[in-house]
């Protein structure tokens, strides 16, 4: 059972699971309870990408060097500054004899478990755009028996499928947590935010969807597409100003607040925006859970606070189907025409 969790790949410290481990062994050949993929593309999570871009001054060569440095040092794409990774796209090249219900060799799949726990070696970075979190590479990764994965859809562009798979949990969690008539406040207008708003629009049936971001163009686009009922430009690091803007806009306190920003310091704004007895879903690797807990304590706010795991049992199928059937969401992801 322990091998199914990938502990045999852990170099340091002994006994750790792969995610919190300092170093993994990414060498071949494929082992009993895993499958191997030839990696074509990495999709870094927004927090890690933003950190690497800032550290490298948006210079593509320096960014590539930093990614290679992390992977070479750790045996996985586990950014030590943000403790986060992303997902990968690749082709299955080998399957261990003990792997349960594996993909077939030659299948193209996306690793849905974080790159922070996926053994990875990179031979070459073949393309890096400092404005995109997707990085073209030649490399090899190993997927454990316990780690989720998803097939690459044939009806969507690869870039879009990877973007959705990277944040699919935001849509699935909102679909499970929100209900008819609810007010859902989504803080952040990136891919995860757009997906969360579309999910909220689908399940709240007469409720109110609020979108907040610091970027006026992003909020303007959400308003234009009708993904939110109220769109606000706010610095979410300023909780009092955010609250005042919500009040001025006539926004109800949220039954569910979804935090999908890549900036730090937004926990107090999320808690203040949420109604007593409501729920805050922290679906961001920039979250300080100490700040969240102690802020709620300090202002006497009784809210349920949830850690937004990137995994849900549908493994991305719900969010991909939401994209297929929701014209505003397709447009938000740059898809002009409906997909079959």
pLDDT in tens, 10-60: 999 988 999 999 999 999 999 999 999 999 999 999 899 999 999 999 999
Asked if 204 and 257 sit in the same domain, the reply is yes
Asked if 187 and 325 sit in the same domain, the reply is yes
Measured between alpha carbons, how far is 171 from 324 in angstroms, rounded to an integer?
13
Query: Pick from 115, 133, 152: which residue ends a domain?
Result: 152
Average pLDDT, the chain: 95
Asked if 132 and 180 sit in the same domain, the reply is no
* Res 285: pLDDT: 85
Asked if 95 and 170 sit in the same domain, the reply is no
Q: Is 110 within the bounds of a domain? A: yes
pLDDT one-digit tens code per residue, 210-228: 999 999 999 999 999 999 9
Asked if 191 and 99 sit in the same domain, the reply is no
Q: Are 293 and 302 in contact (CB under 8 A)?
A: no
Asked if 121 and 176 sit in the same domain, the reply is no
- Model confidence, pTM: 0.92
Query: At a CB cut-off of 8 Å and minimum separation 6, what does 248 contact?
Result: none
Asked if 212 and 127 sit in the same domain, the reply is no
Query: Could you tell me which of 140, 159, 162 has the C-alpha nearest to residue 151?
Result: 162
Q: Is 338 within the bounds of a domain? A: no
Is residue 152 scored above 90 in pLDDT? yes
Query: Could you tell me which of 317, 7, 23 has the C-alpha nearest to residue 175?
Result: 317
Instruction: State the maximum Cα–Cα separation within the chain, in Å, rounded to a whole number.
Output: 61
- Across 124-133, 248-257, 304-313, least confident range: 304-313
Query: Could you tell me which of 88, 83, 82, 105 has the C-alpha nearest to residue 39?
Result: 88
Domain holding 209, by residue range, is 161-332
How would you classify the pairing of strands 34-44 and 86-95? Answer: antiparallel
* SS3 assignment, position 118: coil
Tell me which residue has tokens 């109604």.
Answer: 275
* Res 337: pLDDT: 54
> Residue 93 phi/psi, 5° resolution?
-120, -5
User: Over pLDDT 70: what percentage of the chain?
Assistant: 97
Is residue 339 scored above 60 in pLDDT? no
Rounded mean pLDDT, 295-312: 93
pLDDT one-digit tens code per residue, 69-98: 999 999 999 999 999 999 999 999 999 999
Is residue 169 scored above 90 in pLDDT? yes
Rounded mean pLDDT, 128-133: 96
Rounded mean pLDDT, 105-114: 97
Q: pLDDT class for 3, splitting at 50, 70, 90?
A: low
The conformation of residue 178, written as its DSSP 8-state character, comes to -
Is residue 4 scored above 80 in pLDDT? no
Asked if 138 and 196 sit in the same domain, the reply is no
Is residue 162 scored above 90 in pLDDT? yes
């Amino acid at each position: 059972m322990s091998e199914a969790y990938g502990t045999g790949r852990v170099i340091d410290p002994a006994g750790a699971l792969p995610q919190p481990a300092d170093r993994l062994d990414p060498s071949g050949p494929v082992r009993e309870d895993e499958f191997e993929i030839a990696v074509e593309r990495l999709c870094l999570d927004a927090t890690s990408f933003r950190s690497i871009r800032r550290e490298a001054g948006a210079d593509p060569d320096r960014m590539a060097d930093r990614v290679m440095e992390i992977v070479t040092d750790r045996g996985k794409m586990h950014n030590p500054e943000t403790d986060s990774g992303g997902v990968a796209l690749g082709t299955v090249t080998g399957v261990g004899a003990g792997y349960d219900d594996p993909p077939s060799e030659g299948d193209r799949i996306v690793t849905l478990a974080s790159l922070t726990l996926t053994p990875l070696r990179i031979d070459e970075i073949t393309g890096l755009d400092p404005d995109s979190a997707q990085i073209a590479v030649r490399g090899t990764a190993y997927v454990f028996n316990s780690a989720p994965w998803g097939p690459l859809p044939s009806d969507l562009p690869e870039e879009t499928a990877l973007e959705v798979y990277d944040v699919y949990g935001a849509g699935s969690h909102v679909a499970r947590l929100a209900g008819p008539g609810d007010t859902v406040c989504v803080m952040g207008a990136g891919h995860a935010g757009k997906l969360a708003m579309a999910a909220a629009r689908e399940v709240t049936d007469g409720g109110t969807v609020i979108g907040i971001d610091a970027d006026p163009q992003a909020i303007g686009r959400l308003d234009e597409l009708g993904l939110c009922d109220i769109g606000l430009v706010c610095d979410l690091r300023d909780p009092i100003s955010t609250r005042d803007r919500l009040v001025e806009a006539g926004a109800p306190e949220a039954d569910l607040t979804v935090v999908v920003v890549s900036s730090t310091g937004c926990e107090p704004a999320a808690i203040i925006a949420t109604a007593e007895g409501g729920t805050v879903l922290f679906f961001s690797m920039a979250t300080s859970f100490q700040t969240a807990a102690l802020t709620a304590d300090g202002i006497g706010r009784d809210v349920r606070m949830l850690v937004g795991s990137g995994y849900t049992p549908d493994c991305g199928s719900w969010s991909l189907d939401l994209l297929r059937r929701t014209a505003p969401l397709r447009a938000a992801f740059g898809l002009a025409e409906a997909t079959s």
